[in-house]
Chain A
Amino acid sequence: MRHSITVRFSRTPRRPMKKKMNSTGRKLSIPQEIMYEIFSWLPVKSLVRFKCVTKFCNSLATESDFLNIHVRRSMTRPGGTEFFSHETRPVFYTTGQIEDGRASASLLQIDDFYYHAPAYSGLDYVNGLFCFWGPTFAGPAAIFNPSKGENRVIKKSISSRSSRQEVNNYHGGSN
């Protein structure tokens, strides 16, 4: 069964678009609205890498409107990440880049954790990372990083709100 992730909309206002001349004054820089659009098609890995291009690029990585668009696009573009769920556990499937006309794919799975279907309410997406949690009997909450194929268990029992916090902390530490 294919499981789609609920996209949350929060009301972070988009920054006002500024046009800027570069030091030579010859050619206008690419408007931020276009950079926004281009960046929404980048793989997570590149987004993290380009955080140090400018403050605007840095701000995208924490802007929820942008991240919502980004996760939707990641699910449709070639080479994006697709998400499937199994009866009892989440499975991530990333279609790799098409090289030499052949599609390469990899299957990433969180093997260590078993979740019962109702536990799926505890699935969230923050900054390109996924967090799972459920009732105590379902095991500890976990964070999964699709771009690196890593996952990490959060040892202590936590609520959904602090899960998001943990994901943010983990994200900060992984860059």
Chain B
Amino acid sequence: MASSTTGEKKILTLKGGDNEEFILEESLVLQSELLKNMVKEERVSSIPLPSIKSKTLVKIIEYLKKHAELTPSNKEEFKNFEKEFVNVVLEELLDITVAVNYLKINGLLEFCCQAVADRIKDKSVEAVRKIFRIESDFTPEEESEFRKETPEAFEGDLDDTTN
């Protein structure tokens, strides 16, 4: 049941993957299409998000707060915050991106994807596979053909997957 308070700010609890609880104003989570629908349709007051690490959730809530405070006068400050926001190791940035995609926070999703693209654009094919945790689904023949045709796409540091 949703809290029956009228006039007061509604409070919502989000539960991260490791059962850590985050209590915040309902108005904040409305920026997420997923949570908005849950709150509006099912009138819930506590939402478990087992697939999202608490560390990731902390970052996203931080963003939601900043974004809610965005006004024309602090636009510059918000831009700097955004820049700092994505300045984390690549794996963490991808965790955030996956969670944001799940929560459907559209503006932030675009921004995260842009940031990931910027970080991977010069990496080798192997590094990109590692980063996205995918494996080649080409036949060994196709694979060696690629390596022969575009050897430069396979050059680069294989361990260079965290920056």
Residue ranges of A at the interface with B (Cβ–Cβ < 8 Å): 20, 22-23, 27-31, 33-35, 37-43, 45-46, 49-50, 52-56, 77, 175
Contact = CB atoms under 8 A, between A and B. Distances in A.
Nearest to A27: B133
Given A39-B117, A54-B137, A30 B98 contact: yes
B121 interface: yes
A45 B150 CA distance: 12
Interface residues of B, number: 31
B129 interface: yes
Contact of B94 (A30, A39, A52): A30
Given A41-B113, A50-B125, A31 B101 contact: yes
Contact of A53 (B101, B122, B134): B134
Nearest to B131: A30
B25 to A, nearest CB: 28
12 contacts: A22-B135, A27-B133, A30-B97, A30-B134, A31-B101, A34-B113, A46-B117, A50-B128, A53-B125, A53-B134, A54-B135, A54-B136
Contacts of A42: 117, 120-121
Contact of A28 (B118, B121, B133, B150): B133
Closest 4 CB pairs of A and B: A41-B117, A52-B146, A29-B133, A46-B121
Most-contacted residue by chain B among A22, A33, A53 (CB, 10 A): A53
Given A22-B133, A28-B133, A50-B128, A37 B122 contact: no
Contacts of A31: 98, 101
Interface in B118-146: 118, 120-122, 125, 128-129, 131-138, 143, 146
Interface string B94-105: 100110010000
B150 A49 contact: yes
Given A52-B153, A175-B150, A38 B117 contact: yes
B34 interface: no
A14 B17 CA distance: 31
Contacts of A55: 137-138
